[in-house]
Amino acid sequence: MLLRYPFDNQRKSSELCITMFTPAQAERFAAMETPFFYYDLSLLKKTIDVAALHARKHQFHIHYALKANVNREILQPIAAAGFGADCVSGNEVLRALEAGFSPDKVVFAGVGKSDKEIRTALAHDIFCFNVESVEELQVINELAAQAGKTATVALRVNPLVEVNTHHYITTGTAENKFGIPPRDFDALLQLLPQLSYVKVIGLHTHIGSQICDMDNFKNTCLKFNEIRRWFEEHGLQFTDLNVGGGLGVDYKQPDEHPIPDFESYFDTVSRYLERTPQQQVHFELGRSIVAQCGSLITRVLYTKQGETKRFAIVDAGMTELIRPALYQAYHKIEAVGVAADESYAYDVVGPICESSDFFGKEVVLPALKRGDLLAIRTAGAYGEVMTSFYNLREKAPAVYED
């Protein structure tokens, strides 16, 4: 089964992009200093509700992946819905707890946990560490012994599954840094009886991000089943199964698909993942929860004609949204409150002193002038959270609408 929207790689836009924002919103934006991140909290809440509805049908547990967005106004309704938190740093663990996530629903993942971060998580009695190497398991055991605690852990295994997504966001192939590879399974089993301060409760995997083809999740479940059976045949039992996240969103038509197809996603996993009635199944969803509720609003500083290109130079840059520069990722760009009497193809670029500082190429927009507003859509995930201060840029604020 394939969701009806492709991967968000960069492309030329041949359609005239005029925003779906209302005239009242356009008037409000025009009076504000730009750039800023705009969040539609009502859409966020609808997305949370739909995800929760379809997860409950299968008795699945969702842990929101904080790496997608750590804005407190975004985190609070997610925590209030009863979701857990998936964290990849000690500071994310602390932010999750501050935002109201229960410690017994906090998972600490990540391939490079420092001793300080591990101690922080142990001190707050979190639910589980997702362990990514044999050596990490030994370190957690040592630090747990020093703290006089027992750390509950899940073994993140590498399923060696190829997926159709950008190579920077695949995580389950043979040469990825993530997960325990099959060649280490025997050594892992020999080590476990020596570790008195860790308790293995789970098996975990994650294959990557922005995945829209349900067959990728099907194949992951089938491979995961094989790995789980192998461990069980060798005497290791699991109470919790964590199949990660990675569900993609529609970057090209955000208004047609504002909420991802959680129903197909959870149904696919339920159909192909083998589990006993006693085993709990966990997911780590980030992008699919928050991406569509956010837009980056930016103002045209200058227009410029090149030899063959027309440029719209805006006041936001790769410091606010790095995905196009980093992944050549596509974001729909729309004119806000601009008349469409004439249109041109623009390269929409930022002010940062790098040629990679662009948001879209040959984007068809109404004839632009200094001061016009643009909305860069689907920026709720990996936008604000990845901002930088390069060129001593000021941090773009967040604006909310409920």
The last residue of a domain, from among 244, 274, 290: 290
Identify whether residues 260 and 276 lie together within a single domain: yes
Q: Which two tokens stand for residue 376?
A: 């860069």
**What's the distance, Cα to Cα, between the start and end of the chain in Å?**
34
Does residue 233 fall inside a structural domain? yes
Name the nearest CA neighbour of 131 among 109, 164, 116. Answer: 109
pLDDT-derived band at 1 (thresholds 50, 70, 90) equals: very low
The DSSP string of 164-233 is SS-GGGB-SSTT-SSSB-GGGHHHHHHHGGG-TTEEEEEEE---BSSB-BHHHHHHHHHHHHHHHHHHHH
- What's the CA gap between 38 and 399, in Å, rounded? 5
Bridge partner list, 84: 63
Identify whether residues 259 and 320 lie together within a single domain: no
- What's the CA gap between 29 and 25, in Å, rounded? 6
The residue-averaged pLDDT of 2-28 equals 65
Cβ(376)–Cβ(302) below 8 Å = no
Q: Inform me whether the pLDDT recorded for 333 exceeds 90.
A: yes
Identify whether residues 206 and 180 lie together within a single domain: yes
Does residue 5 fall inside a structural domain? no
Cβ(374)–Cβ(284) below 8 Å = no
- CATH number for the domain spanning 307: value is 2.40.37.10
Q: Inform me whether the pLDDT recorded for 394 exceeds 70.
A: yes
Whose tokens are 């504000």? That residue is 32
The residue-averaged pLDDT of 363-389 equals 97
If you ran DSSP here, which 8-state letter would residue 13 be given?
B
The residue-averaged pLDDT of 206-231 equals 93
C-alpha separations of 126 from 97, 103, 130, 190 in Å:
10, 5, 11, 26
Identify whether residues 359 and 283 lie together within a single domain: no
Which of helix, strand or coil describes residue 359? strand
The last residue of a domain, from among 290, 315, 334: 290
The last residue of a domain, from among 257, 290, 323: 290
Identify whether residues 201 and 319 lie together within a single domain: no
Each residue of 310-329: pLDDT tens digit? 999 999 999 999 999 998 99
Does residue 13 fall inside a structural domain? no
Q: Which two tokens stand for residue 292?
A: 């569509």
- What's the CA gap between 375 and 340, in Å, rounded? 16
- The per-residue pLDDT for 243 is 96
Q: Inform me whether the pLDDT recorded for 163 exceeds 90.
A: no
Instruction: Give ∠ CA 283-289-291 in degrees, rounded to 5.
Output: 135
The residue-averaged pLDDT of 175-189 equals 84
Each residue of 184-213: pLDDT tens digit? 999 999 999 999 999 999 999 998 889 999
Does residue 8 fall inside a structural domain? no
- The per-residue pLDDT for 221 is 95
Name the nearest CA neighbour of 264 among 18, 2, 34, 87. Answer: 2
The residue-averaged pLDDT of 231-236 equals 95
Name the nearest CA neighbour of 52 among 81, 74, 76. Answer: 81
Cβ(358)–Cβ(367) below 8 Å = no
C-alpha separations of 96 from 41, 76, 240 in Å:
19, 9, 21
Each residue of 281-303: pLDDT tens digit? 999 999 999 999 999 999 999 99
Identify whether residues 270 and 298 lie together within a single domain: no
Q: Which two tokens stand for residue 351?
A: 């002010």
pLDDT-derived band at 388 (thresholds 50, 70, 90) equals: very high
- The per-residue pLDDT for 19 is 67
Residue 170: give the domain boundaries. 41-290
- What's the CA gap between 95 and 202, in Å, rounded? 24
Name the nearest CA neighbour of 246 among 226, 225, 271, 219. Answer: 219
pLDDT-derived band at 172 (thresholds 50, 70, 90) equals: very low
Q: Which two tokens stand for residue 81?
A: 């819905």
- The per-residue pLDDT for 16 is 63
Q: Inform me whether the pLDDT recorded for 7 exceeds 70.
A: no
Identify whether residues 58 and 134 lie together within a single domain: yes
Between 69-73, 339-343, 387-391, the lowest mean confidence (pLDDT) is in 339-343
One-letter identity of residue 32 = M
Indicate the pTM of the whole model. 0.91
Does residue 17 fall inside a structural domain? no
Between 7-16, 137-146, 274-283, the lowest mean confidence (pLDDT) is in 7-16
Identify the burial level of 181 via C-beta atoms within 10 angstroms of its C-beta, where 0-12 means exposed, 13-18 middle and 19 or more buried: middle
The residue-averaged pLDDT of 232-243 equals 96
Instruction: Give ∠ CA 78-79-82 in degrees, rounded to 5.
Output: 100
Distance, C-alpha 221 to centroid of its chain: 20
Which of helix, strand or coil describes residue 93? helix
The residue-averaged pLDDT of 133-160 equals 95
If you ran DSSP here, which 8-state letter would residue 150 be given?
-
- What's the CA gap between 160 and 104, in Å, rounded? 30
Q: Inform me whether the pLDDT recorded for 130 exceeds 90.
A: yes
Identify whether residues 34 and 45 lie together within a single domain: no
Identify whether residues 261 and 211 lie together within a single domain: yes
Does residue 153 fall inside a structural domain? yes
Does residue 97 fall inside a structural domain? yes
Greater confidence, 174 or 52? 52
Identify whether residues 323 and 338 lie together within a single domain: yes
- The per-residue pLDDT for 176 is 65
The residue-averaged pLDDT of 377-395 equals 97
Identify whether residues 129 and 111 lie together within a single domain: yes
> How many domains in the chain?
2
- The per-residue pLDDT for 158 is 84
- CATH number for the domain spanning 275: value is 3.20.20.10
Does residue 348 fall inside a structural domain? yes
Identify whether residues 300 and 227 lie together within a single domain: no
Greater confidence, 20 or 37? 37
- The per-residue pLDDT for 159 is 80
